[in-house]
Copies of this chain bind each other. A is one copy, B any other.
Amino acid sequence: MPKQTFFNLPEEKRETIINAAVDEFAQYGLENASTNRIVENSGISKGSFYQYFEDKEDVFMYVLSLLEREKMDYFKGKHPPSTNMDTFEYFRWMIKAGMEFNSAYPRMTQAVSRVLLGEGLYYGKNFGDYRQKTTQALSMMIQQAIERGEVDSSVDVDLAVMVMDTWSNTISTYILNEGLKQKDIMKWVRSAKVQEKIDKLLYVMEYGLRKTESEFVAKH
């Protein structure tokens, strides 16, 4: 957590600093981010930086919490178009809503996912159970789907979680990277072409999960 001095700052100044940090993380990741550059680009002195934060990891954790809060706010205002969707329809809706969110905060998303997916795998950082939360939610989702009979009961839950987690990360990363090359990322994401691509990618997973295990058992 940043120190009190940081929160005493006028909002504009706080934003400037966080912006510089986000840019730095997006470009260099956490390990290779430079506090010197963050300080330069936000127009504060080295001493001030350490009066606001413990170190760069402290800044990153704060950025992470900001993104989490923004995401919660965003999803609070969003509701699935229908109440009786099956699990996969719901998952699909969620992924697409997530994609819209990412397009609204592209740099922040890039910074965070780069660090979490890229470096998180190798350096044994904790990152405040951020990843674990997602996997838990997915696990519950799958179990529910099995209870509802939407997914074969022979399905290995952990395996399915891994599949869904990997899949959504891959799609998000792919769409974000492509989107950042466009002039208007939001417009691009909403275009029929891109939406169809997302749908196709999700159907690959969905059919795989629906059919896999029973077929697999049948074959052996």
Which residues from chain A sit less than 8 Å from chain B, CB to CB?
29, 31-32, 114, 118-119, 121-122, 156, 159, 162-163, 166, 170, 174, 197, 199-201, 203-213, 215-216
Contacts and interface: CB of A to CB of B under 8 A. Distances in A.
A209 to B, nearest CB: 6
B203 A206 contact: no
10 contacts: A31-B32, A118-B118, A159-B197, A162-B174, A163-B204, A203-B208, A204-B205, A207-B210, A207-B211, A207-B215
Nearest to A121: B118
B118 A200 contact: no
A110 to B, nearest CB: 10
Given A118-B118, A207-B211, 5 more contacts: A31-B31, A163-B204, A166-B166, A200-B216, A208-B208
Contacts of A208: 203-208
A44 B118 CA distance: 32
Nearest to A163: B204
B118 A114 contact: no
A170 B174 contact: no
Contacts of A199: 216
A203 B215 contact: yes
Contacts of A201: 159, 163
A74 to B, nearest CB: 26
A172 to B, nearest CB: 12
Contacts of A114: 122
Contacts of A207: 207-208, 210-212, 215
Contact of A212 (B122, B203, B215): B203
Given A114-B122, A121-B118, A208-B208, A216 B203 contact: yes
A204 B200 contact: no
A45 to B, nearest CB: 28
A118 B119 CA distance: 8
Contacts of A118: 118-119, 121-122
A44 B121 CA distance: 32
Contacts of A159: 197, 200-201
